[in-house]
Chain A
């Protein structure tokens, strides 16, 4: 069974641009969560989706948004990029929201210049 896949793996953008990151969960997994990882703040929860609905959201500005499709694939979008958005964005999937074990993808490394 294939693991969680994230595309692209690396991305370079400039301030003010927007970016869309994609995550394909493990087959059969219906819950997808997104995390931002930076050296300064560590791993921080962004949001979680299940059945195309956002169930939980972390403490991030509205520039960060996401969605989930009927096949459980998820995208996150960051608009009006700032230098501080440079980070590794990790996606994790689980069978159900109540499932306590998440499987992480390799992440997308976003660099904002």
Chain B
């Protein structure tokens, strides 16, 4: 069965600092991996996805993620966080019916 673990429930960073959100997955084959962002009262917006090929994936809003098969990880990174990045971030694994992690809440201090 597929599963996703996001070890950090909350992450607090200062504006302008770098960010890394962790995601570990369990999947029987080559995984389809996603990162979504959810702002308060909103639905989920896809930040980036990995299906195959280059293990470093570029997404929207300056985010990137790196697929590491040996570590079963797909961590999300951003070099410089903006206050508007404060939101809930979800990692997901699977094909067209993904399994979602429990989310990481990002708090940005000015």
Is B one of A's binding partners? yes
Taking a contact as CB atoms under 8 Å apart, the answer to whether A43 and B100 are in contact is: yes
Bound form: Cα–Cα A56–B51 in Å: 22
Number of interface residues of A (CB under 8 A): 23
* Nearest A-chain residue to B101, judged by Cβ: A42
Given A33-B97, A42-B101, A43-B90, CB of A101 within 8 Å of CB of B44: no
Residues from 61 to 113 in A contacting B, C-beta threshold 8 Å: 90, 92, 94, 97-107, 109
Bound form: Cα–Cα A79–B54 in Å: 47
Secondary structure at chain B's binding surface: helix, strand, loop or mixed?
Answer: loop
Taking a contact as CB atoms under 8 Å apart, the answer to whether B100 and A42 are in contact is: yes
Q: What is the interface of chain B, defined by CB distance below 8 A to chain A?
A: 32, 36, 41-46, 49, 51, 90, 95-103
* Nearest B-chain residue to A4, judged by Cβ: B43
Given A42-B100, A45-B97, CB of A101 within 8 Å of CB of B49: yes
Given A42-B103, A43-B90, CB of A102 within 8 Å of CB of B96: yes
Residues of B within 8 A of A45 (CB): 97, 99
Q: What is the interface of chain A, defined by CB distance below 8 A to chain B?
A: 4, 31, 33, 42-43, 45, 48, 56, 90, 92, 94, 97-107, 109
Apart from the given pairs A104-B36, A104-B44, 16 other A-B contacts in the complex at a CB distance below 8 Å: A33-B96, A42-B100, A43-B90, A45-B99, A48-B97, A56-B97, A97-B96, A98-B96, A99-B96, A100-B51, A101-B49, A102-B98, A103-B46, A104-B45, A105-B43, A107-B43
